[in-house]
Chains A and B, each alone.
Chain A
């Protein structure tokens, strides 16, 4: 006998997730011609030839089978050496490093490995769009802590402390940040560290943009005193090495946590793609010069773009890293959605409305300056025209 009504097959958790606000803009922008896109969250460089070549060679030599679950040992050793060289942190390649399918998978694994139902995870907002849903999918409860443009989006430890409860398990921080480009200062990191120690919290540190830091030396959360034991360091090759399509990232964490992540990874994923791992090996061995050149190029474009935004009346702090500018659109009186939508339709410039990254992103838009200088100049011209008309 057939049941009268068909039940919904989708889980309540998934049904309850809101679709990504980025998706909506993607659909709108893709349906139009001649759009200058400042909406892209990825480098405009093609992966260096030597990296592509190394991956091709691995295919030619027939390295087409699974690797160890945690990734090629050779690659993990190279990652350990890289972390030591760059951030002065020591991880054991055998037990404390895991090669993942993008930083995305590493974040998912970290959350699934640590969350008990109902645990709270603090997310510093504005934030990368995946954190909140991934916390929910892992059975946790996301708790937002807002930062504001007035503080150049630096996290205020007092606000963080207020959000901590009995149930808080971890804090996710991202520096340099997507979407604000803000780099957390060493002082702020130390303040966060002290709170993490006092309340026995883990810190999930998304450091995927660390290579794209423009001023001073980068401080990794794991390098802050006392933090190696309570940090899950997440990074990857997508942004710094211009390898987004390769889907390769990694996590470094104390043995116990990393082994828990590995357990999930080995059942859910087996291992990251082999040819991508060979490419990554080459990236770490010989990519430094190319990375430095790309960083220089982003820095110059940042200088141009942010100065121009300020000039045309969209006040913007100078972001210390990543390739995003996050100007305020408050002077226009429009919401970030209205602004982005009208700018797209009237002037064909795609930007991402700030509210997509959490409530505290309202009043801002995210503009990626990973575009050619000519495109940036044209975008500024169009935005200026748009503002003059408002």
Chain B
């Protein structure tokens, strides 16, 4: 889909801050509010804007810190459907946050979020490893998130500039 200059501006701005108020957005791209609204709706309908989400630092919510693991999965692809069928069987599990087909040493990269290591271990041993086409899994637990989707966690973002300067 070929996007116009203004549409590109909209998605660039909303990707950085999905909560930019519509009147502010309209001024930033120099269009009337109604037209801006229409463009945003169009981008939503075309699924260019897939969803608006919040990036949460769960470590700050006591008792809800959770555990994230990245699992390298080797599978036997099936004739006709290749990797798609097994990928779908995996991504349907709600605890699975993302699934990527990879080149290199393994086939699928699966990101899982759970309440505890035990919960993830259970998922891997009972649900994932037991799938027909899965040959092997290697589980890596994430110890700390420094940067996620381009956003640095806990960045010292205070303004270091003096209040008035030439």
A residues in contact (CB < 8 Å) with B = 20, 22, 25-26, 29-30, 35, 37, 39-42, 44, 128-130, 178, 296, 300-301, 303-304, 307-308, 350, 352, 371, 373, 377
Instruction: Tell me, yes or no, whether B18 is within 8 Å of chain A by CB.
Output: no
Supposing A44-B159, A304-B24, A373-B24 touch, asked if A350 and B164 sit within 8 A by C-beta, the answer is yes
B24 near A377: Cβ-Cβ < 8 Å: yes
A350 near B163: Cβ-Cβ < 8 Å: yes
A300 near B28: Cβ-Cβ < 8 Å: yes
B165 near A304: Cβ-Cβ < 8 Å: no
Instruction: Tell me, yes or no, whether B151 is within 8 Å of chain A by CB.
Output: no
A to B contact number (C-beta, < 8 Å): 61
Q: Residues of A contacting B159 with CB < 8 Å?
A: 37, 44, 371
A26 near B29: Cβ-Cβ < 8 Å: no
Of A29, A300, A308, A377, the contact of B164 (CB 8 Å cutoff): A29
B13 near A300: Cβ-Cβ < 8 Å: yes
3 residue pairs, one from A and one from B, having the closest CB atoms: A39-B164, A26-B164, A300-B28
A129 near B9: Cβ-Cβ < 8 Å: no
Interchain nearest-CB distance for A135 vs B (Å) = 16
Instruction: Tell me, yes or no, whether B162 is within 8 Å of chain A by CB.
Output: yes
Of B20, B28, B30, B164, the contact of A37 (CB 8 Å cutoff): B164
B residues in contact (CB < 8 Å) with A = 9, 12-13, 17, 20, 24, 27-30, 159, 161-166
Supposing A300-B13, A373-B17, A373-B20 touch, asked if A37 and B163 sit within 8 A by C-beta, the answer is yes
- Bound Cα distance from A20 to B162, whole angstroms: 15
List the B residue with the shortest CB-CB distance to A368.
Answer: B165
- Bound Cα distance from A132 to B163, whole angstroms: 23
List the A residue with the shortest CB-CB distance to B159.
Answer: A44
Of B13, B20, B163, B166, the contact of A30 (CB 8 Å cutoff): B163
Interchain nearest-CB distance for A105 vs B (Å) = 14
Supposing A301-B28, A304-B27, A377-B24 touch, asked if A42 and B164 sit within 8 A by C-beta, the answer is no
Q: Quick one: which of A37, A304, A371 has the most chain B CB within 10 A?
A: A304
B163 near A40: Cβ-Cβ < 8 Å: yes
- Bound Cα distance from A377 to B17, whole angstroms: 14
Q: Quick one: which of A130, A178, A307, A350 has the most chain B CB within 10 A?
A: A307
Q: Residues of B contacting A37 with CB < 8 Å?
A: 159, 161, 163-164
Of A29, A296, A307, the contact of B163 (CB 8 Å cutoff): A29
List the B residue with the shortest CB-CB distance to A43.
Answer: B161
Q: Residues of B contacting A304 with CB < 8 Å?
A: 24, 27-28
A42 near B30: Cβ-Cβ < 8 Å: no
- Bound Cα distance from A303 to B30, whole angstroms: 7
Q: Residues of A contacting B30 with CB < 8 Å?
A: 303, 307
B166 near A129: Cβ-Cβ < 8 Å: yes
B163 near A300: Cβ-Cβ < 8 Å: no
List the B residue with the shortest CB-CB distance to A374.
Answer: B17
B28 near A303: Cβ-Cβ < 8 Å: yes
Q: Residues of A contacting B29 with CB < 8 Å?
A: 300, 303
- Bound Cα distance from A26 to B165, whole angstroms: 7
A-B CB contact pairs (8 Å), 6 listed: A22-B164, A26-B162, A37-B163, A44-B159, A296-B12, A303-B28
- Bound Cα distance from A165 to B77, whole angstroms: 86
Q: Residues of A contacting B13 with CB < 8 Å?
A: 300
B161 near A307: Cβ-Cβ < 8 Å: no
B9 near A42: Cβ-Cβ < 8 Å: no
Q: Residues of B contacting A128 with CB < 8 Å?
A: 166
Q: Residues of B contacting A303 with CB < 8 Å?
A: 27-30
B24 near A26: Cβ-Cβ < 8 Å: no
- Bound Cα distance from A193 to B78, whole angstroms: 74
List the B residue with the shortest CB-CB distance to A302.
Answer: B28
Q: Residues of A contacting B17 with CB < 8 Å?
A: 373
